[in-house]
Amino acid sequence: MNSDTENIRSFMSNYIEINDKEWEYFSSMFRFKNIAKKEIVLNEGYICKDVFFVLKGLLKTYTTDSKGIKKTFHFSRENTFATDYESFLKGTPSKYSIQAIEETTVALMSIETLQNAYKTLRFGNKLGRILAEIYFFIYSDKIQSIYTQTPLERYNNMNTLFPNILQRVPQYDIASYLNITPVHLSRLKKL
Amino acid sequence: MNSDTENIRSFMSNYIEINDKEWEYFSSMFRFKNIAKKEIVLNEGYICKDVFFVLKGLLKTYTTDSKGIKKTFHFSRENTFATDYESFLKGTPSKYSIQAIEETTVALMSIETLQNAYKTLRFGNKLGRILAEIYFFIYSDKIQSIYTQTPLERYNNMNTLFPNILQRVPQYDIASYLNITPVHLSRLKKL
């Protein structure tokens, strides 16, 4: 998985300096996992034990409402993360499930690996801060779009938020992400 | 404003160690501001120049949809923050406005103060990371509640999210926060 670890190093180098010695130690803690299409890697109610960094493939994060309807919340494509970060950091039951939409390869990072990173990487906390900021912006934009945009506007923005997502994801997941029915989505697409 | 600066130090000490020398330097960079009730301290479209830490009072953050309707997005009570953090960090036009619901006193932190904090406080990046994580969780929970809860459930949770908020905020702001009309809210409250 050499090219995969190099991908991770290159991703991290976008945000912080990491030297060979730090990298050697940190990268020795990664684990890798191949996930079959439709496989569920996190179930709501269980503690989220890992952060998933997608090397290849596509994951979706969803939550289930009181009527048992699954609501797709987020998509994680190559070089982005999937996790229930609150469950992961606090050890509380997860509010989300994570499932593979395509056959997917991920690097896994446990809470111990993360804590180690904060201790051993000179700029570990800086990286943690920047990544938390990035995901904060993503969620903040998502709320703003729910409050201010029509479902059609949100649909048209999906390819900007998640490049090529509309070509990779089933219609019912797109409708679910937009919080509308598949019939409503199909009507919108004809406009 | 001695007791106010002590409040800030005590707030920070919940998350990181900060010694007297660090504090002396860092606290010398604060500015304070009294904000009149209904005064607007950030307008959408302008660059957000400060993070506001509320010492006393209550601020609301709102955004305006394409029909010109203001949507209340967040409330900031004592010992919490108000800002358009993305605009603040990136220097891009703000998507939100911030207005005082009550007469309010805030400590202001500019981007230079923040950058200085990351350089001079031993655990500055750790504090930045933890605060970004906390706000990430708040927004993540907000999205989950929009997807999975009814307006009545969200109304009933507001006092947990923002203690005493229902007693401090006008009904139209509560309705706006719930993304429903004031008439709808008044009907829900009779249930």
SS3 at position B31: strand
8 Å CB contact of B147 and A89: no
Q: What is the Cα–Cα distance from B174 to B71, expressed in whole angstroms?
A: 10
- Predicted confidence at residue A1, as pLDDT, reads 52
- Predicted confidence at residue B1, as pLDDT, reads 52
Q: What is the Cα–Cα distance from B128 to B39, expressed in whole angstroms?
A: 28
Phi, psi for residue A46 in degrees, rounded to 5: -95, 160
Angle subtended by helix axes A151-161 and A182-189, to nearest 10: 80
User: What does the pLDDT look like over A36-65, one tens digit per residue?
Assistant: 999 999 999 999 999 999 999 999 999 998
Q: What is the Cα–Cα distance from B104 to A119, expressed in whole angstroms?
A: 39
Q: What is the Cα–Cα distance from B191 to B151, expressed in whole angstroms?
A: 12
8 Å CB contact of A126 and B118: yes
- Predicted confidence at residue B74, as pLDDT, reads 93
B93 - beta bridge partners? B47
Which of A145-159, B6-20, B33-47, B53-67 reaches the highest mean pLDDT? B33-47
Q: What is the Cα–Cα distance from A18 to A10, expressed in whole angstroms?
A: 10
Q: Which of A36, A76, A54 is nearest to A173 (CA)?
A: A76
The answer to whether B101 touches B59, Cβ cutoff 8 Å, is yes
DSSP category for residue B191: -
* Mean pLDDT within B27-31: 89
Phi, psi for residue A105 in degrees, rounded to 5: -115, 130
Q: What is the Cα–Cα distance from B8 to A177, expressed in whole angstroms?
A: 39
Q: What is the pTM of this model?
A: 0.84
Q: What is the Cα–Cα distance from A69 to A57, expressed in whole angstroms?
A: 25
List the beta strands (DSSP E) in A123-173. none
Q: Decide if pLDDT at B134 tops 80.
A: yes
- Predicted confidence at residue A5, as pLDDT, reads 83
Q: Which of B144, B160, B154 is nearest to B177 (CA)?
A: B154
How far the first Cα of chain A sits from its last, in Å, is 46
Q: How confident is the model at residue B141 (pLDDT cuts 50, 70, 90)?
A: confident
Chain A residues at the B interface, defined by Cβ less than 8 Å, are: 63-66, 71, 73, 85-86, 89, 95-96, 118, 123, 125-126, 128-129, 132-133, 135-137, 139-140, 142-144, 146-149, 179
Q: What is the Cα–Cα distance from B149 to B60, expressed in whole angstroms?
A: 22
Mutate to test the interface with A, among B71, B145, B147 (most CBs of A within 10 A): B147
* Mean pLDDT within A84-106: 95
Distances from the Cα of B123 to the Cα of A123, A146, B18, B23, B99, angstroms: 11, 36, 8, 12, 32
> What's the CA angle centered on B14, arms B137 and B84, to 5 degrees?
45
Chain B residues at the A interface, defined by Cβ less than 8 Å, are: 63-66, 71, 73, 85-86, 89, 95-96, 118, 123, 125-126, 128-129, 132-133, 135-137, 139-140, 142-144, 146-149, 179
Mutate to test the interface with A, among B140, B141, B176 (most CBs of A within 10 A): B140
The pLDDT mean for chain B works out to 92
User: What does the pLDDT look like over A123-157, one tens digit per residue?
Assistant: 999 999 999 999 888 888 888 888 888 999 999 99
Q: Which two tokens stand for residue A1?
A: 């998985």
* Mean pLDDT within B165-181: 93
